[in-house]
Amino acid sequence: MRELVPRGRRDGTMYHFAVEDRESGALVASVHVHRHTGTWGIGYWTVAEHRGRGFATEAVLALAEWSFEERGVQRLERRAEAGNLASWAVAEKAGFVREGTLRAAQTNGNTLRDTWIGALLPADLGLPFALPYRPAASDLSG
């Protein structure tokens, strides 16, 4: 991490932030956005004793707004191991829409696991897109 985070900031592919409690200054969470093969993703974790208090959701929303407004990101993806309800709860509270399940998309302890994927768009936060957006007229599934 000592090299990865500074290199990501320099080359514009990763922005990583510590989240501190406003009153105590204690580290309560971490959030980051990263670009991977043309897509921007967001990640986060919360210190165990500070979970359930809204720190991650507040940080995710702030970082999403910054990403859309300052970095020109048009879509943020959140991927979490299928079944990770706590992680997905943060994403949903921040406005992410679950789009599906990617089969065998990540490894956990030498085992392939399914991954939930969802996205947050600028419009989900009342922000404009930098490019015109034309949603699909219909869904092939139904």
Q: How far is CA 111 from the centre of its chain?
A: 23
* pLDDT exceeds 80 at position 138: no
Each residue's pLDDT tens digit, 21-72? 999 999 999 999 999 888 999 999 999 999 999 999 999 999 999 999 999 9
CB 31 within 8 A of CB 43: yes
Nearest residue to 108 (alpha-carbon basis) of 92, 93, 87, 77: 87
pLDDT-above-90 percentage for the chain:
79
Task: Give the 3-state secondary structure of 68-113.
Answer: HHHCCCCCEEEEEECCCHHHHHHHHHCCCEEEEEEEEEEECCCCEE
